[in-house]
């Protein structure tokens, strides 16, 4: 079911708030990853004060407008995109993603 404009605006507002609080942000392509692997990734992320979020690329693009200039254009990223936001240690998101990529044999990309 398609999201209404109000729902999309709410998602963008929430993403902007999360991006502002995050010490580091990592974009990952999760095409082909299993639900079980995603659940394990979410559990590990939660325990390390890292949030794993999936949103439409266009909503990510809107939420990133006005943020740091070195942020990628989310609409140009390949595949399905998830965001790992670290609120504690700056490198926690990267460590978790790298560990998950080591277990996963599919096309897992970091941006």
User: What's residue 91's pLDDT?
Assistant: 94
pLDDT of amino acid 5: 92
- What does each C-alpha distance from 74 to 11, 44, 82, 96, 99 come to in angstroms? 15, 24, 10, 21, 23
Residue-level pLDDT at 72: 73
Tell me, what's the pLDDT at 71?
Answer: 72
Mean pLDDT by 10 residues, the chain (111 residues): 90 94 88 84 93 92 79 78 92 89 62 49
Q: Supply the pLDDT for residue 67.
A: 73
């Amino acid at each position: 079911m398609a999201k209404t404009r109000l729902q999309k605006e709410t998602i963008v507002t929430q993403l902007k708030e999360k991006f502002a609080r995050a010490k580091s942000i990592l974009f990952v392509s999760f095409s082909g990853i299993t639900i079980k692997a995603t659940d394990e990734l979410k559990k590990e992320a939660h325990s390390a004060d890292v949030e794993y979020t999936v949103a439409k690329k266009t909503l990510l693009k809107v939420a990133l407008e006005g943020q740091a200039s070195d942020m990628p254009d989310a609409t140009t990223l390949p595949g399905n995109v998830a965001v790992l936001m670290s609120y504690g240690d700056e490198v926690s998101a990267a460590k978790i993603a790298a560990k998950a990529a080591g277990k996963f044999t599919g096309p897992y990309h970091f941006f």
